[in-house]
Structure 1
Amino acid sequence: MAGIDFRGVNHLALVCKDMARTVEFYSGVLGMPLTKTIEIPGGGQHFFFDCGNGDSLAFFWFPNAPEAVPGVSAPAHRPDQGDIVSAHGSMNHVAFGVSPEHIERCVGALRDAGVDCTDVWNHDDSEWGVAREFTDDVYVRSVYFTDPDGISLELAAWTRALGVGDVRHEPRSLAD
């Protein structure tokens, strides 16, 4: 739509099972400042965390929300542990940008906090999309983990600017 002056993501709103546990994980473990809290009529809550660059990650807590269905409402596994398919309209994962110089340190910090995470993945354009070693072909380095509700999270560090040559594939549909 022409005429919209996009300024990034204001916030992404997810649903958690336990707001106190969510605050402890996102503020206590990941270090995201809690910036806004809202009580919702009917007993719910809506809390916002600063995830950098003026962007926010928000969570709803509803006392009567249905349970998550792994493999439907979210991936059933981390990328290194199995199938990452999730249903149409679902949120597959949230990737937070981090500095390429600090990606290795992020793994250590997560593990020191007791968070089970992957090693650093070097994403490239090879057949499998990931390289064992960091090379000039790597465009992003990632670490994957989940929050206490099983929400798939990623710390992602761009290693080079993307350009016209990075858009090479035609979009597909089930009709193809």
Structure 2
Amino acid sequence: MKIEKIHHVAYRCKNAKETVEWYSRNLNMDFILAIAEDRVPSTHEPDPYMHVFLDAGGGNVLAFFELPTKPE
């Protein structure tokens, strides 16, 4: 099987807003979407997070999670 593209990879970040600004300014990636949740979707446990997505070109997406309640 040949992999033609990867939809998205996700990394953790300390500050989603600053991360989006940096990638937009320095790598010309366009902001696509931000999702803010107060609970884990699968378990519904309280756990606020921000998930942001940037267009990496060629149908690829770079994503970041800001997890303010988790240790680094």
Which residue does the alignment assign to 1:30?
Answer: 27
SS at the partner of 2:6? coil
Shift of 1:5: 6.6
Scaled by the length of structure 1, the TM-score of the pair is 0.34
Which residue does the alignment assign to 1:40?
Answer: 37
Equivalent residues in 2 for 1:79-158, closer than 5 Å: none
Q: How many pairs align?
A: 64
Which blocks of at least 5 consecutive residues in structure 2 are unaligned?
A: 39-46
Higher strand share: 2
Q: Whose relative contact order is higher, 1 or 2, with alpha carbons under 8 Å and at least 6 apart?
A: 2
Which residue does the alignment assign to 1:57?
Answer: 62
State the alpha-carbon separation in 2 of the partners of residues 20 and 36 from structure 1.
12
Scaled by the length of structure 2, the TM-score of the pair is 0.77
Q: Indicate the structure (1 or 2) with the bigger Cα radius of gyration.
A: 1
SS at the partner of 1:44? strand
Shift of 1:21: 1.1
Identity %: 38
Shift of 1:25: 0.5
State the alpha-carbon separation in 2 of the partners of residues 30 and 5 from structure 1.
28
Hey, which bits of structure 1, 4+ residues long, moved more than 4 A? none
Which blocks of at least 5 consecutive residues in structure 1 are unaligned?
A: 68-176
Residue of 10, 31, 37 corresponding to 1:13 = 10
